[in-house]
Amino acid sequence: MPVYGAFDTQVGAGIVGGYMNRNENEAREAGAMVVKLLDGTPPAQIESMSTKRVPMVDWRQLKRWKVDERLLPEGTVVSFREPPIWERYALELTIATAVVLVQAVLIAGLLLQRMRRRRAEHASSMLAGRLMTAHEDERRRMARDLHDDVTQRLARLAIDAGRLEKEAQGDSATARLVREELVRLSEDVHTLAYQLHPSVLDDLGLAEGIRAECHRLSRQTSIPVSVDAANVPPKLPRETSLCLFRVAQEALRNAVRHARAQAIAVSLAPKGRGLELVVKDDGQGFDTEAMQKSPSLGQVSMRERIRLVAGSLDVQSELGRGTKVVAWVPLEQGVS
């Protein structure tokens, strides 16, 4: 049961409270009487001490016995009331709030910077894609002009030179040399047009285009190049075909020029929801860590092409153990 008392010294010792004399008030009144006596005031003129009782309660006991504070008499002194959290931890809460605000500002700044960076990267990617597309379109136009115009004119000149060779009597050797040089020049122009843009890629598809490129390289360098391109979809997006073909071209070129390979193997096959190209050689290899710090223009070009079609590129190599280039690009659903 709740216990009540009559002395304020009992508050805090377990009682709920009560109407009680406050020792503090009595001591203050007694002190005032002493001061008056010392000042010479006659005792008869000094008022006696009041016996006014003050309602006092222990806040902790109110909570214990679930007493509503609204039921207390007006003017009740409530002792041992726990201060609110803000008063008890004012400094800590102020510091924590300041830290949270600073962090929020920093996070907002970082998010804004990240958003701006992504926008800049997207714009850069779009620009790179447009530049690469424009570059390929220009190469296609130049290849078509060389094939349809310059090559035809050189062929006609070679035919004319052959006719002059037959008609010449004393200077047939000169006419023959002119005709042979025109034939070689025509072949060189045709090769240049093919390197700019292989028409077989548009006519027969990616698999045949890579086969033709490997056979052409093998004839020129006498390096055996094996090709495995089974189960490749005959119809592919133009960007996908051109991307993998250019990657294969660059990998083959590097294997011949830098790796000094004696044999090259090329494979092209579906993998997962995409198409995987693997170009492997037995050349001298290189240090991949050093290459990552200072990549060649060819590798940068390959990675940029692969990135533009949302693919992946992995270049594996060890000194003396050859190089393996693995490129993967996703295929759109419905491609057949």
> CB within 8 A of 49, min separation 6: which ones?
26, 29, 30, 33
- Which of 305, 264, 277 is CA-nearest to residue 206? 277
pLDDT of residue 242: 86
User: What is the DSSP track for 42-106?
Assistant: -GGGSPPPP---EEEEEHHHHHHTT--GGGSPTT-EEESPPPPHHHHTHHHHHHHHHHHHHHHHH
**What residue spans define the domains of the chain?**
8-82, 84-197, 205-336
pLDDT of residue 168: 63
Measured CA to CA, the distance from residue 215 to residue 176 in angstroms comes to 30
pLDDT of residue 93: 86
Q: What share of the chain is helix, strand, coil (3-state, %, to 5)?
A: 60, 15, 25
pLDDT of residue 285: 85
- Which residue stretches of the chain have pLDDT < 50? 333-336
pLDDT of residue 326: 94
Residue 110 tokens read as 């970082």
- The burial class, CB within 10 Å (0-12 / 13-18 / 19+), for 9 is exposed
| CB-based contact 226:215 (threshold 8 Å) | no
pLDDT, tens only, 133-156: 666 666 667 766 666 667 777 777
pLDDT of residue 334: 41
> Coil, strand or helix: which one is 229?
coil
pLDDT, tens only, 10-46: 888 888 888 887 777 777 878 888 888 888 888 877 7
Helix (H) or strand (E) holding 312: strand 312-317
Which amino acid is residue 40, in one-letter code?
G
Q: Report, at the CATH architecture level, how domain 205-336 is classified.
A: 2-Layer Sandwich (3.30)
pLDDT of residue 133: 67
- For 79, 82, 217, 232, the CA distances from 210, given in Å and listed in that order, are 92, 83, 11, 12
pLDDT of residue 333: 47
| CB-based contact 143:201 (threshold 8 Å) | no
